[in-house]
């Protein structure tokens, strides 16, 4: 039996698992990343997780056909160009891993990995061109074209959160201004919600937050809007208008079959989907041309592991 190893390398935790050729997760484990450690120590931990899982489940090392690794950064040709959370620059991750387990190693951005998962097991299935937006602390992205992940010439092809949508807008951590994620991430919505708590003490959101702006979450803003609170609904509508701007850029650039919305904000489900779909009406080029469907992604807690394994598969 051939299996594929998948590793989801995060700033806080490393998740790893073994996936069968049928795309079923066989086993998984996790450990704290301890980001202050050296790259060599973290890589050794990742390899040990895979080798331990194989031993515990009666799988020979020779049956591991390949390893996929999803990272919250940029990689090209097996080298991590930039991984801010772990303070990595130009780390030869593939060759370092192969010192512990000599199999093919494939590395890509975690948004791309999630997109691969959605193509095989989620709402991007069957798409010629599929796009995943993960709406969380920032905005991650995955693009799958003809069943293969697209990362561009320099590994930056799915930094979708850094599409510039507001000229001269808010400064972004990437160094540019007006980036998509500064307006349409969960963090962006939380920022607007916190301002509301401070400036509008009569609002439902202020009440739900117990009067403390630090308690505001994106879910809380959406929940207040769902209950019919006009102030919260206005915040959500503004948020969705920025989301629609970014999706329009993607639609007119890539012409995807589906744009899937994932990440924490997607937990708003049908409420978000209805508003996002309405905001996209009339935005297609050339009038009546067909354009992308908007769907809620299916990615679960194990999507990072399974999607990474699919890179190898």
pLDDT band of 218, cuts 50, 70, 90: very high
Mean pLDDT of 184-189: 94
The span from the CA of 259 to the CA of 265, in Å, is 15
- The backbone region for 105, taken as left when phi is positive above 0, alpha when psi lies in -120 to 50, beta otherwise, is beta
What pLDDT shows up at residue 153? 85
The span from the CA of 182 to the CA of 166, in Å, is 9
Instruction: Please determine, for residue 1, whether its predicted confidence score (pLDDT) is greater than 90.
Output: no
Mean pLDDT of 254-273: 93
The listed range with the strongest mean pLDDT (142-151, 234-243, 276-285) is 234-243
Mean pLDDT of 116-141: 92
% of the chain surpassing 70 pLDDT = 98
Mean pLDDT of 124-151: 92
What pLDDT shows up at residue 287? 64
Instruction: Please determine, for residue 300, whether its predicted confidence score (pLDDT) is greater than 80.
Output: no
* DSSP designation for 270: H
Mean pLDDT of 76-100: 93
Q: What pTM value is reported for the model?
A: 0.84
Mean pLDDT of 183-192: 95
Q: What is the CA radius of gyration of the chain?
A: 20
* DSSP designation for 164: B
DSSP bridge pairs for 68: 6, 106
Instruction: Please determine, for residue 167, whether its predicted confidence score (pLDDT) is greater than 80.
Output: yes
Using the structure block, give the residue that is written with the tokens 């937050």. 209
Helix 230-254 to helix 269-280 angle (10° resolution) is: 60
102-106, 109-113, 275-279, 306-310: range with lowest mean pLDDT? 109-113
Mean pLDDT of 70-76: 90
CB 11 within 8 A of CB 86: yes
Of 126, 194, 135, nearest to 161 (Cα)?
Answer: 135
What pLDDT shows up at residue 138? 87
Write down all domains in the chain, each with its CATH number in brackets. Answer: 3-117+302-312 (3.30.420.40), 125-296 (3.30.420.40)
What pLDDT shows up at residue 174? 85
Instruction: Please determine, for residue 285, whether its predicted confidence score (pLDDT) is greater than 80.
Output: no
Name the strands in the sheet holding 139-145, side by side, starting at the edge strand that comes first in the sequence.
148-149, 139-145, 129-135, 258-262, 293-296
- The backbone region for 70, taken as left when phi is positive above 0, alpha when psi lies in -120 to 50, beta otherwise, is beta
Average pLDDT for the chain = 92
What pLDDT shows up at residue 20? 94
What pLDDT shows up at residue 179? 95
pLDDT band of 163, cuts 50, 70, 90: very high
């Amino acid at each position: 039996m051939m299996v594929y190893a998948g590793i989801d390398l995060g700033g806080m935790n490393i998740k790893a698992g073994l996936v069968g050729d049928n795309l079923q997760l066989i086993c998984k484990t996790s450990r704290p990343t301890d980001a202050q450690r050296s790259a060599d120590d973290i890589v050794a931990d990742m390899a040990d997780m895979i080798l331990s899982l194989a031993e515990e489940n009666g799988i020979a090392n020779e049956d591991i056909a390949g390893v996929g690794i999803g990272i919250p950064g940029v990689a090209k040709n097996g080298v991590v160009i930039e991984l801010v959370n772990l303070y990595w620059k130009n780390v030869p991750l593939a060759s370092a891993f192969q010192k512990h387990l000599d199999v093919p190693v494939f590395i890509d951005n975690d948004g791309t990995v999630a997109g691969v998962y959605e193509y095989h097991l989620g709402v991007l299935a069957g798409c010629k061109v599929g796009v995943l937006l993960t709406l969380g602390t920032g905005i991650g992205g995955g693009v799958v074209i003809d069943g293969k992940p697209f990362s561009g010439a320099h590994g930056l092809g799915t930094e979708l959160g850094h599409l510039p949508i507001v000229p001269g807008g808010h400064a972004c951590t990437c160094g540019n201004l007006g980036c998509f994620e500064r307006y349409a991430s969960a963090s962006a919505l939380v920022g607007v919600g916190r301002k509301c708590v401070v400036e509008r003490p009569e609002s439902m959101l202020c009440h739900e937050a117990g009067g403390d702006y630090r308690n505001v979450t994106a879910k809380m803003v959406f929940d207040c809007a769902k209950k019919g609170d006009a102030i919260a609904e206005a915040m959500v509508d503004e948020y969705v208008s920025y989301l629609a701007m970014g999706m329009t850029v993607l639609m007119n650039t890539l012409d995807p079959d589906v744009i899937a919305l994932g990440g924490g904000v997607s937990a708003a489900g049908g409420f978000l989907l209805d508003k996002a779909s309405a905001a996209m009406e009339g935005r297609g080029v050339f009038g009546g041309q067909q354009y992308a469907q908007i769907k809620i992604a299916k990615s679960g807690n194990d999507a990072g592991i399974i999607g990474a394994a699919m890179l190898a598969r």
